[in-house]
Amino acid sequence: MDGVRIGLVGFGTVGRSFYRLVMGQREGFARKLGARIEIPYVSVRDASRPRPVESDTRVVSGWREILDDPSIPIVVELVGGAEAPLPLVREALARGKHVITANKAMLSAHGKELFALADAHGVELKFEAAVCGGIPIIKVLRESLLGNRITSIVGIVNGTTNYILTRMAEEHLSFAEALTQAQRKGFAEADPTLDINGGDAAQKIGLLASLAFGCWVLPADILCEGITTVEAKDIDFCLASGFVIKLVAQARTVGGAPLVTVYPALVPLDHPLAGVRNEFNAVLVEADYLGPSVYEGRGAGGNPTASSVASDLGDLVKSILSHQVPRPFGTPLATACSSPVDGMESKYYFHFVTANRPGIWALVTSVCAETGINIESVHQKWEDKSKPSDLYVLVDEANEAQVHRAFGRITGAEGIFPESHFFRVLESPAGGER
């Protein structure tokens, strides 16, 4: 039986899970792929510390030995970080080795260069694990939906923020309390910035948009808002109105150009994404022939991510054994001219924090009237008349430009406090009666 040898770089949570998976599944791989999978090298920063590896695996410092070994056709990069593994990946591809990565930050920042490099050297850069951990969304978009035109992708693609928002909703926690719980349970990092500001979700949806629309979406073109403005009060009011608040990542085309966004949104309770709880991720894809389809699973963690790395490994092993010519990423990816965010339309939810006195309703309703925004409902709530009160406004379809104009005028008026904010409302899927 043929053997296929892998160089594994990075032995953190995902690296260890992947190593354990391969060692535990040697027989399964042999049966399913017709090949023995070997991991002769594991590269770590400090090779002097003992590591739980088998006797035929050597722990090495750095990745020089792996790249210099011509018997290694596949490098698995599980180091993480947008910049640190870049020299490794560049050189591996340039030397004709396939690379598997779980690194969305690197792909988001340098994907265009790296995929072109892989194409130029006749190798593949695989990245199923880079988006939504264990959910096979990359394979679905590239292979299963091959015959479809994809019209829209809507996803919950960040487990940390979904965990925080779920705990806030179900245990009536504040944002800070839910974040602490997420960190204690390992669902949020010590520095959660990139998760809670939407940056991680933006990297993922940018990659999905590139695949779906066949053009490269620049990070700077993605409208990205985080969840730090979401209050327990918002969650309670919205739930009573039939919505849960989720960090929603979307990619669609408007007038032929991609529009990619990440923001907290009101998700109708009967929407397929409304029931996606805690650290789970899910992606709803709308396509012309298939219609709507949903893919849900664990979006992070060592084992789910290792599952996706193993899927990429299986594909590469099959193509290596059959001397298959690699399939390019989507030849050639032009950088997209994104559709302007200003034209984006949806229903909106405003939460104004206001002085508790007459005149506020008149202000809000007249500005809405003047900017052409149609109000659906207004509710005012307060606990203590001497303190600011909360005014919740749900409005019908409007566009971003209108809403920014109205919001700016209202929050610029006297008696409206700066904690005021607005969120958008997610539409129900177009696929009809699900």
| Residues at the contact surface with its own copies, assessed by CB under 8 A | 17, 21-22, 25, 28-29, 31-34, 128, 134-136, 139-140, 143-149, 214, 270, 272, 275, 277-278, 280, 282, 287-298, 303-304, 306-311, 313-315, 318-319, 321-325, 327, 330-331, 431, 433-434
**Do the Cβ atoms of 274 and 262 come closer than 8 Å?**
no
Nearer to its own copies, 29 or 41 (CB): 29
Distance in Å, CB of 284 to its own copies, minimum:
9
3-state SS class at 275: coil
Nearer to its own copies, 328 or 340 (CB): 328
Distance in Å, CB of 4 to its own copies, minimum:
13
**Torsional sign, CA 152, 154, 157, 158:** positive
Exposed, middle or buried by CB within 10 Å (0-12, 13-18, 19+), for 5? middle
Q: How many helices (H) and strands (E) does the chain have?
A: 14, 16
Nearer to its own copies, 191 or 289 (CB): 289
Distance in Å, CB of 396 to its own copies, minimum:
26
Nearer to its own copies, 231 or 312 (CB): 312
Helix (H) or strand (E) holding 291: strand 291-298
Distance in Å, CB of 197 to its own copies, minimum:
25
Q: How many other CB atoms sit within 10 Å of the CB of residue 374?
A: 11
Exposed, middle or buried by CB within 10 Å (0-12, 13-18, 19+), for 139? middle
Distance in Å, CB of 426 to its own copies, minimum:
16
Nearer to its own copies, 214 or 415 (CB): 214
Exposed, middle or buried by CB within 10 Å (0-12, 13-18, 19+), for 393? buried
Which of 97, 126, 204, 246 does the annotation list as catalytic? Answer: 204
- HSE, side-chain direction, 13 A CA sphere, residue 171: 16
Mark whether 126 is an active-site residue: no
- Give the distance, in angstroms, between the CA of residue 408 and the centroid of all CA atoms in the same chain: 30
Q: How many other CB atoms sit within 10 Å of the CB of residue 429?
A: 20
Active site residues: 204
